[in-house]
Structure 1
């Protein structure tokens, strides 16, 4: 449905653009201004087309298998951060974003870390770290090297601490500006 809407908007902008180019001096300026407004609206809409809204935030799954730091840097390039989770509803919404993209519950980076201080977990975007859905026995900091958080671990699809150097796909979150 989104693709059809984008196509329709693109066709409308092209038609208006062609008409503006052909419309001589009488009324051509007004038409060109309208085309520019339509183009800006289309560009704004296109940058949100793959993001999923939940509450006042937008989420997007990226299939690239990167380290936690690489994933966070990529999210920042999109004016976002690795996703934080505030409650179970939001956790499930992020799972749906992943499932729609992969048709599975793939282990995926989130923005949680205790790399600065052991057992002091925080979200990279500054959200208070109040909600957890840890797997049984987690976080366990196995081998004293597990400082990053991923979700959909094991059949329980819960949170797990794991080495930040592992490579997983990730979910970014951002607010609309």
Structure 2
């Protein structure tokens, strides 16, 4: 009798277990189809997200590489246009600036006014190369250094003090007691070619305009 009861209980338990297993399966066309694993779905979503992130990063890198090139190209084109324009107007390009050498004479102040009307100013000499450039025209030309206060403190037209000068022998000297408060290039055959003379005198002049945009 005990054996019969145990066998019946075992059959009931087996049927119950089989019922649980079958309840978690779906029947499709006579085949059992297991429900998708949640972890597999998570891995799929992570993979898709990572792929999209890589695509966005690649597009951003390409954009960053192309943008500076386009800006440099536009700057170069604009620089070429301005260079051609200034040269046609009689300006000369040297190093990083354009220079205008006049063919008429004016006082120092009138010369500077002309330069300023061209969005420039009288030349400021910063290097020996620029000094050599300005004296090659063999004209008495105004440059952008003066003594406005008449105290002996020479300054450039941009307000910076004169620290490196190219005075000719014995200059500046205020010849015969005159107020020689402006500077010209006079001694063309020497690197030290500057001479002080009255600002009211008539001279040619050199304007300078920076080429940088």
Greater relative contact order structure (CA < 8 Å, 6+ sep): 1
TM-score (norm 1): 0.65
Distance 2:141 2:203 in 1: 6
Distance 1:42 1:84 in 2: 24
Conserved 8 A contact 1:148-1:162: yes
What residue is the counterpart of 1:15 in the other structure?
none
What residue is the counterpart of 1:92 in the other structure?
132
Distance 1:80 1:72 in 2: 9
Conserved 8 A contact 1:86-1:130: no
Distance 2:127 2:79 in 1: 33
Q: How does 1:31-42 map to 2 (within 5 A)?
A: none
Report the secondary structure of 2:206's partner residue. strand
Distance 1:145 1:123 in 2: 18
Q: What is the CA distance between 1:136 and its match in structure 2?
A: 0.8
Distance 1:146 1:153 in 2: 17
Conserved 8 A contact 1:84-1:124: yes
1:74–1:90 distance in 2 versus 1, CA, 3 Å = same
RMSD (Å) for aligned C-alpha atoms: 2.3
Between Structure 1 and Structure 2, the one with more helix by share is 2
Aligned: 1:160 with 2:195: yes
Report the secondary structure of 1:153's partner residue. coil
Conserved 8 A contact 1:82-1:125: no
Aligned: 1:74 with 2:108: no
Give aligned pairs, total: 131
Distance 1:118 1:85 in 2: 22
71-80 or 154-163: which moved more? 154-163
What residue is the counterpart of 2:158 in the other structure?
125
Conserved 8 A contact 1:69-1:164: yes
